[in-house]
Amino acid sequence: MTTTSPRTQRLIPKWNASYSVVAGFLILLILGFFSIIKLELMVNGLFLGAIIALGAISLSLIYGILNFAHLAQGDFMTLGAYIALFLLGTLLPRLGLEGAGLGPFTFGYPVFIALPLAILAMAAIAIGLDVTIYRRLRRRGVSKVLLAMTSLGLAIALRGAVQVIWGGDTYQYPRLSKEFYQLSMGIRIPPDNLFIGAMTIVLVVVLYLFLTRTRIGKAMRATSDNMDLARVSGINTENIIKWTWALSAGLAATAGVFLAIFQAQLLPIMGWRLLILLFASVILGGIGNLYGALVGALIIGVAAEVSTQWLNPAYKIVIAFVIMIAALLIRPKGIFGVKD
């Protein structure tokens, strides 16, 4: 056929393999009711999954447009979290914006100033890095492997920068409350997690609407499908690439801030550690597929948390990989992989 596409993945697929995933969660729930699995771990695993999902989607966006594995994405998360730390812990208090607790959450309203600013800062940093580093390499036509290696170097450099600026100690965002919601069946949920879950749902819906309803969003998907044809249609793909970096780094910064809230601590290595789970989610869901990344992340998040019932938390990553490999043996293109 003359019109085969260079890509076999689509950014937004139809709702197809989702039934098996829903069934999987139902089975877990039933196991939970018979107390074989602690429901608390499952529920909080979903929240971890939400954070992983934001990171995994941000990774997929870059992969979809630029076609390489961006290994600095985890450190984008870290840097975003630390920028928010600077705002919440230093700058905003100095400006007198400290705020009392906001309902049951550990944080106050300054989060709603710090998070958007951290998102904007990371978007600007990512565009800056693209213009100074990645665009130059692109114009020389370097391979995907070299781009990925460059991003590995950038990951190490960013982590180094965080360590130089903030030191290696652990930090926390200012904490204003320590409540827990006590649900039935012994499930304790930190209220912060509900905020994280709700915000993730909002962001995913907004991203979906952006990609399917707006001119730029559609052009982004077109560029992901076929960059040459996008240019032939008059789309300035360099602008699309900037949009992609901004969106991706903004999501990564959000994931980083949420991770810092979820773990109640910041570490220079936090994003890098999570990166492996991001990749497991992306591969599990089907590379380059946003919906797959989302579902993959929820599965990996729940599995990682539930595993701590029996295993040392250090094995979370191993569990993620066992699940990923098992799923790939059954569906080599990932749960939502499609063959065109």
Partner 1 sequence: MSLLKVSNIVAGYGETEILHGVSIAIEEGHVVTIIGPNGSGKSTLLKAIFGLIKPKKGQVLFQGKDITGLAPETVVRRGLCYVPQSSNIFPSLSINENLEMGAFIRTDDFRQRLEEMYLLFPDLAGRRKDRAGTLSGGQRQMLALARALMLDPALLLLDEPSAGLAPSMVGSVFEKILGINRSGVAILLVEQNAREALKLSSWGYVLASGRNQLEDRGENLLNNPDVARLYLGG
Q: Which residue has the tokens 């490999």?
A: 325
CB of 230 to partner 1, least distance (A): 7
Q: Which is nearer to partner 1, 6 or 168 (CB)?
A: 6
Cβ proximity of 271 and 78 under 8 Å = yes
Least distance in angstroms from the C-beta of 243 to partner 1: 14
What are the φ and ψ backbone dihedral angles of 127, each rounded to 5 degrees? -65, -40
Q: C-beta of 132: minimal distance to partner 1 in Å? A: 21
- Tell me the C-alpha distance between 65 and 106, whole Å: 37
Cα–Cα distance for residue pair 65/227, rounded to 1 Å: 8
Nearer Cβ to partner 1, position 144 or 178? 144
Residue 199 beta carbon to partner 1: minimum distance, rounded to whole angstroms: 28
Q: How far apart are CA 39 and CA 218, in angstroms?
A: 40
When the beta carbons of 1 and 330 are compared against partner 1, the nearer one is 1
Distance CA 334, CA 292 (A): 8
Q: How far is the CB of 340 from partner 1 (least distance, A)?
A: 5
* Tokens found for residue 330: 């059954």
Question: What's the rounded Cα separation, in Å, for the pair 329 and 61?
Answer: 25
Which one, 88 or 235, has the nearer CB to partner 1? 235
- 151 vs 223, which CB is nearer to partner 1? 223
- Write down the H helix ranges in the chain: 18-33, 39-66, 73-85, 92-94, 111-129, 135-139, 144-166, 191-213, 215-225, 227-232, 237-263, 270-285, 290-307, 316-330
Report the distance separating Cα 194 and Cα 299, nearest Å. Answer: 18
- Closest CB to partner 1 among 220 and 266? 220
Q: Report in angstroms how near the CB of residue 18 gets to partner 1 at its nearest.
A: 17
| Terminal-to-terminal C-alpha distance of the chain | 12
Q: Give the nearer residue to partner 1 in terms of CB position, either 96 or 141.
A: 141
Minimum CB separation of residue 217 from partner 1 in Å reads 10
Q: Look up residue 150 and give its amino acid.
A: T
> Which spans of this chain sit near partner 1 (rule: CB under 8 A)?
1-7, 9-12, 14, 215, 218-219, 221-222, 224-226, 228-237, 340
